[in-house]
Amino acid sequence: MKLCYIGRSYLPSGIRSIVENDVDALRSLGCDVQVPKLSVYDEFEVRSVNSDVDAVICTDVYAAMKIRDVRSLRRKTLLFIRGRMDDNLDPDPTISYWRLRFASFLDHIDLSKATLLENLGRVLEQRLLHIDSDRYENVHKSVYKVIASFSPVYVSSASWGDLLKKCFGVNYVKVALGLDKSYWKRDGPYQTRSDKVKVLIPTGLFKCKKLDYGLAKINNAVYRLKNLIDTCDFLWYNNDYRSLKDDLHERYPNINFVTDATADPKALFQQYDLVIHPSLGESFSKIVLECLSIGLPCLVSSVSEDILGDHVLCVDPRSQLYDSALDKLITRPNLRMDLSRKASEFARKWISWQDRARMIIDEVKRKGLA
Task: Residue 213: give the domain boundaries.
Answer: 197-348
Which residues 6+ apart lie within 8 Å of 244 measured at CB?
206, 257
Q: CA 291 to CA 186: how far, in whole Å?
A: 10
pLDDT value of position 265 = 86
Residues 31 and 156 in one domain: yes
Q: CA 34 to CA 37: how far, in whole Å?
A: 10
Q: Does 296 reside within a domain?
A: yes
Q: Does 184 reside within a domain?
A: no
Residues 335 and 359 in one domain: no
Q: CA 352 to CA 280: how far, in whole Å?
A: 26
Residues 109 and 24 in one domain: no
β-bridge pairing 153-155 and 139-140:
unpaired
Q: Does 208 reside within a domain?
A: yes
Q: Does 283 reside within a domain?
A: yes
Q: Does 191 reside within a domain?
A: no
What DSSP element (H or E) covers 101?
helix 98-107
Residues 245 and 344 in one domain: yes
Residues 20 and 153 in one domain: yes
pLDDT value of position 178 = 95
pLDDT value of position 59 = 93
Residues 352 and 360 sit within 8 Å (Cβ to Cβ): no
Residues 318 and 240 in one domain: yes
Residues 300 and 155 in one domain: no
Residues 249 and 113 in one domain: no
The domain that contains 170 carries what CATH number?
3.40.50.2000
Q: Does 313 reside within a domain?
A: yes
pLDDT value of position 164 = 93
Task: Determine the 3-state secondary structure of 129 from DSSP.
Answer: coil
pLDDT value of position 339 = 96
pLDDT value of position 347 = 95
Residues 53 and 169 in one domain: yes
The identity of residue 16, as a single letter, is: R
Residues 343 and 357 in one domain: no
Q: Prior bond to 152 cis, omega within 30?
A: yes
Count of helix runs (H) and strand runs (E) in the chain: 14, 14
Q: Does 186 reside within a domain?
A: no
The identity of residue 202, as a single letter, is: P
Q: CA 110 to CA 112: how far, in whole Å?
A: 6
Task: Calculate Rg over the CA atoms of the chain.
Answer: 22
Residues 242 and 362 in one domain: no
Looking at 59-117, which runs of residues are DSSP E strands?
77-79
Q: Does 240 reside within a domain?
A: yes
Residues 31 and 6 in one domain: yes
Residues 25 and 356 sit within 8 Å (Cβ to Cβ): yes
- For 299, phi then psi, to 5°, come to -110, 115
Number of domains forming the structure of the chain: 3
DSSP 300: E
pTM: 0.89
Instruction: Mark the ranges of the chain whose per-residue pLDDT is less than 50.
Output: none
